[in-house]
Amino acid sequence: MPVTSSPTPSRASARITLTLATLAMIGPFTIDTVFPAFGRIGTEFGASEVGLQQLVSAYLAAFAVMSILHGPLSDALGRKPVTIGGLVIYLIGMFGSILAPGLGGLVALRVLQGMSAGAATIVSRVVIRDMFAGPEAQRLMARVMMIFSVAPALAPILGGWLLLLGDWRWVFAGVGLYGVVTLVLTALLPETLPRDQRTPLRLRSLLGSLVHVGRSPVMLRIASASALGFAAQFLFIAGASIIVDRLLGLGEQDFWVLFVPLIIGMMSGSWVVGRAAAVVPRPRLITIGYLAAILAALVNLLLVAVSPAPDGTISPALIPLVAGPMLLAFAVSLVFAPIQLEVLDLFPHERGAAASLGTFFSLVLNALLAGVIMPIVSTSLLAVGTASLLFAAGGTALWVWHLAATRGGASAVAPAGA
């Protein structure tokens, strides 16, 4: 529906908000619910720690590659058909995992899940911007993010509970049922892109929109800044199985120790973003978030350096070790929703393509975090914290460059070569 005829977020139905959040939560549920099952999967298939990490990196890599197409397809076919089609394929991959004969087959099915899950995650963000503009869009994005923030904490806890029912296959069955509920809710959503505003469904047109968006230096700067900033927090999520199991010495039922502080940080940051929507200009809020991320990363390093080594038990001694990631989650949440809207507002007539490319940068980096970077820096919590600080600093540097290049951060499309 056109923005001018859409309701304000205060009148948006709880069902629409919940459905958009449910779509956004597909990604965290697909990644994090499986973490507690890594030990059992490794035992059954004789897989190493590095091999098991490919269950995350393969999913993220496939998600990244296909994310390039989900947005442009939604510009051509409409938001709802692309989302529903992606969910159907996702469910095939999820329930198929129950029958996987070995680690190779399971990784292949994770690729199928990654190829299709982006239709839900990416298009749900575009729907928000289809329906609302300005502070209203930021408020709804923040509201969705507050609900979405529950997923990273709830997912591994749910995975641990599902393992009480039987082997690791119960985890994939449980996430599959979540996908079925999401599919039903999505079928009840309205279509937000009228037919007269859609782009032609031709390969040349789809690729042309991607090239147009991808040639913008402003887009490249903002998307890269967003990816690096989010990586400062996502490093702890991508490596959760290593952090909880090996570095903290805890068990498969104890992922809540890491994820509950993360959810507190994310929800608190999202709440602040919603409250600040009409008070703090978007570029200024993003700047505050990046500076806060650097400060949080430094605090995390200090807390890790002065804390005693974990003894494998859940005790107050763990609080300093998870307080740093919580502060990082808060700071990154100040950036996430506003910078997503910055990306979408660069190309108002090609929002799907902008959302796809903006997400692509983060997904490629996230795949590298899970499959390459985390195994390298997982020698200690201090090494993980140092890597997080470098990502926060890199994102901040790119954002400052963007502000300088656009003379105060005006969100305008820069032509190629500008």
Q: Would you state the pLDDT for residue 253?
A: 76
For residue 93, give both structure tokens.
Answer: 């991959």
Is 5 a member of any domain?
Answer: no
Q: Is residue 4 very low, low, confident or very high in pLDDT (cuts 50, 70, 90)?
A: very low
CATH number of 19's domain: 1.20.1250.20
Residue 153 has pLDDT above 70, yes or no: no
Distance of CA 342 to the CA centre of its chain: 17
Query: What average pLDDT score do residues 268-285 get?
Result: 87
Query: What average pLDDT score do residues 239-258 get?
Result: 85
Q: Is residue 413 very low, low, confident or very high in pLDDT (cuts 50, 70, 90)?
A: very low
Is 299 a member of any domain?
Answer: yes
Is 154 a member of any domain?
Answer: yes
Is 110 a member of any domain?
Answer: yes
Tell me how many domains the chain contains. Answer: 1
Question: Tell me: the pLDDT tens digits for 400-409?
Answer: 999 998 874 4
Is 411 a member of any domain?
Answer: no
Is 329 a member of any domain?
Answer: yes
User: Which contiguous run of DSSP H or E holds residue 145?
Assistant: helix 134-148
Is 410 a member of any domain?
Answer: no
Percent of the chain whose predicted confidence (pLDDT) is above 90? 31
267 exposed, middle or buried (CB, 10 Å; 0-12, 13-18, 19+)? buried
Is 294 a member of any domain?
Answer: yes
In 3D, which of 268, 295, 277, 413 has the Cα closest to residue 351? Answer: 413
Question: Tell me: the pLDDT tens digits for 15-49?
Answer: 788 888 888 888 878 888 888 888 899 999 988 87
Percent of the chain whose predicted confidence (pLDDT) is above 70? 93
Most confident of 6-10, 129-133, 168-172: 168-172
Q: Is residue 65 very low, low, confident or very high in pLDDT (cuts 50, 70, 90)?
A: confident
Most confident of 70-74, 259-263, 280-284, 320-324: 320-324
Model pTM score? 0.70
- Domain of residue 177, residue span: 10-405
